[in-house]
Amino acid sequence: MQAIILAAGQGSRMKELIQNTPKCLLKVNKKPIIYYVLESIPREIEEIIILINNQTGGKIRKEIENKFPNKNIKYIESKKYNGTAGALWEAKPYIKNEFIVLNGDDIIPKSEIKSLIKNNLAFSVSKTVAPNDKYLEIITKNDYIKEMRRINKNKIDEPINIATGTYKLDKRIFKYKPVTIKDGKELGLPQTIIKMAQKHKIKAHYIKNWISINTKEELDKANLILNSNK
């Protein structure tokens, strides 16, 4: 089994913090976020593929190789980062069969990942109050994924199933044409998985301890959470 880590994004919502530092190298509790991601990968994963871009990829690779010299990692430079599905499709030639997808800037405990990989096909969700209306709500039936929609702004204070960007998939995903989003500028992976869910049973995998870091406020919150867990 392989792990695909998406670390080629530009981090547009955190430009004031990032500047010359890749988002996944921002520190939480004095440690780069990508360290938490790599440390969460269980031994059942035989190979890690990391998607990087040509602007920040060198820094990411150097940081990882210094800290994790013995991990079996392949780096793929995204030629044109056009969304999460666009990035995954660039890794297609290197994917053997089963794999998980992780974001390079989210923190999830290893126990949650170990639970995820036990599924055949799975779409990880977190039942929580969305930090803002940028997140996607996942609709399930009998704990299987059915559809996805934008969060209703009038219900933003209610706990709902939020897409976490973490999945257990296999090569069947590549039989589906990636769904275009943002006026055709990007290709969305969760949207494409929803299309796949019309023909395949995709389990809703519930994650309890998901730390998403997309804003300065979320970065500060992550520091508080991990400092309190010492």
Q: Token pair for residue 141?
A: 């039936």
**Structural domain span for residue 44:** 2-228
> In this model, does residue 60 exceed pLDDT 80?
yes
Question: Could you read off the pLDDT of 86-133 as tens digits, one per residue?
Answer: 999 999 999 999 999 999 999 999 999 999 999 999 999 999 988 777
Specify whether the CB–CB gap between 200 and 169 falls below 8 A.
no
Q: Quick one: pLDDT band at residue 158, thresholds 50, 70, 90?
A: confident
Instruction: Please give the Cα distance from 65 to 38 (Å, whole number).
Output: 12
Q: Provide the whole-model pTM.
A: 0.93
* Beta-bridge mates of residue 149: 137
Query: Count of domains in the chain?
Result: 1
CATH number, domain with residue 224? 3.90.550.10
**Residue 23: Cβ-neighbour burial (10 angstroms; 0-12, 13-18, 19+):** buried
Residue by residue, DSSP assigns 15-51 as: HHHHTTS-GGGSEETTEEHHHHHHHT--TT--EEEEE
Residue 183's φ and ψ, nearest 5 degrees, are 60, 35
